[in-house]
Amino acid sequence: MPHLQVPSGTGKLDADAVAGYYRKLAQAYTAPFASGISRQRFFDVLRRKTYALTPPGANKGIQSMLLQVIDGKVYLLDPYEVPKNAKPFYRARLNEIIWLLSRLATAGRVRNTEFLLAIHDCVQTVNKEHTYRGAHFTESNPVFTIVSCNFSDNIPFPMWEDNADRGGGFESWDGYVKEYAADSTPWADKVSKAVFRGGNRPSMYFKDKADADTQCDAVGRTRLLHLAETEPTSFDVSIGGTCDGKHTALSRLTPQEQHHFKYILYAEGNCFWADRMNKQVFGPSAVIKQETPCGQFWEPLLRPYTHYIPTDFFFRDTSAQVAWAAAHDSETRAVVAAANEFAWNFLTLAGIETYVEVLLDEYTKRLAEPTIKLETGAIEVTNQKV
pLDDT at 161: 85
CB-count exposure of residue 100 (10 Å: 0-12, 13-18, 19+): buried
pTM of the model: 0.96
Tell me how far the alpha carbon of residue 362 is from its chain's centroid. Answer: 20
Rounded to whole angstroms, what are the CA distances from 248 to 210, 214, 224, 267?
A: 18, 17, 13, 17
Q: Which fold has domain 183-296+299-346?
A: Rossmann fold (3.40.50)
Residue 165: the pLDDT is 60
Neighbouring residues of 317: CB distance < 8 A, sequence distance ≥ 6: 311
Round the CA-based radius of gyration of the chain to a whole number and report it.
21
Distance from C-alpha of 292 to C-alpha of 11, rounded to nearest angstrom: 28
What's the CA gap between 216 and 188, in Å, rounded?
34
**Are 11 and 306 spatial neighbours (Cβ–Cβ below 8 Å)?**
no
Q: Are 60 and 172 in contact (CB under 8 A)?
A: no
Which regions of the chain are under pLDDT 50? none
What count of Cα atoms within 13 Å lies in the side-chain half-sphere of residue 157?
30
Distance between alpha carbon 84 and the CA centroid of its chain, in Å? 24
- Cβ neighbours of residue 285 closer than 8 Å, sequence gap 6 or more: 190, 195, 258, 259, 261, 262, 263, 264, 336
pLDDT of residue 86: 86
Per the CB < 8 A criterion, the answer to whether 266 and 274 are in contact is: yes
Q: Where are the domains of the chain?
A: 15-158+348-380, 183-296+299-346
What is the C-alpha separation between 25 and 31, in angstroms, rounded?
10
d(CA 140, CA 200): 32
How far, in Å, CA of 304 to CA of 326, rounded?
17
pLDDT attached to residue 200: 96
**Looking at residue 278, what is its pLDDT?**
96
